Amino acid sequence: MSYLALAIAVGVALPVGFAIWDFLRLTRKLRESEERWKFALEGAGDGVWDWNVQSDTVVFSQRYKEMAGYTDEDIAANEEAWRHRIHPDDRVQVDQEIHACLQGRTKTYCNEHRVICRDGSVKWVLARGMIVSRSTDDKPLRMIGTHADITERKNMEERMRHMAHYDLLTELPNRALITERLQQAVIKARRDKTHMAVMFLDLDRFKPVNDTLGHDIGDLLLKQVAGRLSGSMRASDTVARLGGDEFVVLLHAIDHEHDAAVVAGKILHALNQPFRVADHEISISGSIGIAAYPQHGEDEKLLLINADIAMYHAKKAGRNDYRFFAPDMQ
């Protein structure tokens, strides 16, 4: 775009008798202003893009291209080429928000999405933009904006989310996440008139391992236990660690109580195989209590309490076994 066109685009009035030296002075000021604007944005680490909407040509700053590992030869100067670098799962949302800005339904465009880099890796960017020029009939002519790399912030958010919902030692869901999934499972079972079950598992003879071999060995053992429990589950089920040597298993859909008994048997068999931990062979077992919906409770809290009660009866009966909850256990 020439600076005369730019002057017109940004609404600078050109009076009658406008002399060539006045034009040169104006273009110099516009050039200086644009250079300062781009310098400020580049200095902030943002990539800059300048889109001529009518001709569908885009000018990308050096920082914009470097951010995703591209060179001048890699990026065609049109909006469609830019769009194809957006992660496929994010394109619809980006399109919707850009069009809202082009149509004047929003004053600015602001969106967080993923960009596919030249080497195939993915980065998160914060894209901002605004219409800086419209025609007399209000059609968008020019849109400018920036891309900021927010990958580190997104990764930190994901780590924080993971820490809030997963046990740091075993990587299993923690108490908060299993409670949430239990609530959802009960709601679904109630709506669909189906059955589900909750298991409360406590390891047998785990305390002597900590006392004689130390907590480091105990932690390594818990990680192996978590692996065996996960291997005994269907993909649709959930095993979580509440803390210490206590675990909860959520069976999302069962036809009858026998299905839960089969899973409990698989878990006990897996735990009965000796564990090899740092040159130590360790033998443990587990006690399991089972509460099924709806016969043993109609909400997640009661199901978990009753499964816990049934687990203690399994321990009292000699350990290494499972028990279904029964009303007389209370």
Task: Annotate 254-273 with three-state secondary structure.
Answer: ECCHHHHHHHHHHHHHHHHC
Q: Is the pLDDT of residue 24 over 70?
A: no
For the domain made up of 166-329, the CATH class stated in words is alpha beta
Q: Omega into 173 within 30° of 0, i.e. cis? A: no
- In this prediction, residue 286 has a pLDDT band, given cuts at 50, 70 and 90, of very high
Res 10: pLDDT: 43
Domain limits, the chain: 44-155, 166-329
Res 32: pLDDT: 53
Residue 211 neighbours by CB under 8 Å, 6+ apart:
none
CATH placement of domain 44-155: 3.30.450.20
Write down the pTM of the prediction. Answer: 0.68
From 50, 204, 245, 308, active-site residue: 245
Scored b (16 or more CB within 10 A) or e, 93-115 reads ebeebbeebbeeeeeebebebbb
Read off the pLDDT of each residue in 289-294 and give the average, rounded to a whole number. Answer: 95
pLDDT digits (tens, 9 = 90+) for 85-106: 899 999 999 999 999 999 999 9
Q: Which of 42-46, 261-265, 270-274, 276-280 has the lowest mean pLDDT?
A: 42-46
Whether 22 is catalytic is no
Read off the pLDDT of each residue in 256-260 and give the average, rounded to a whole number. Answer: 90
Please work out, in degrees rounded to the nearest 5, the angle formed at the alpha carbon of residue 201 by the alpha carbons of 200 and 206.
150
C-alpha–C-alpha distance, residues 182 and 299, integer Å: 9
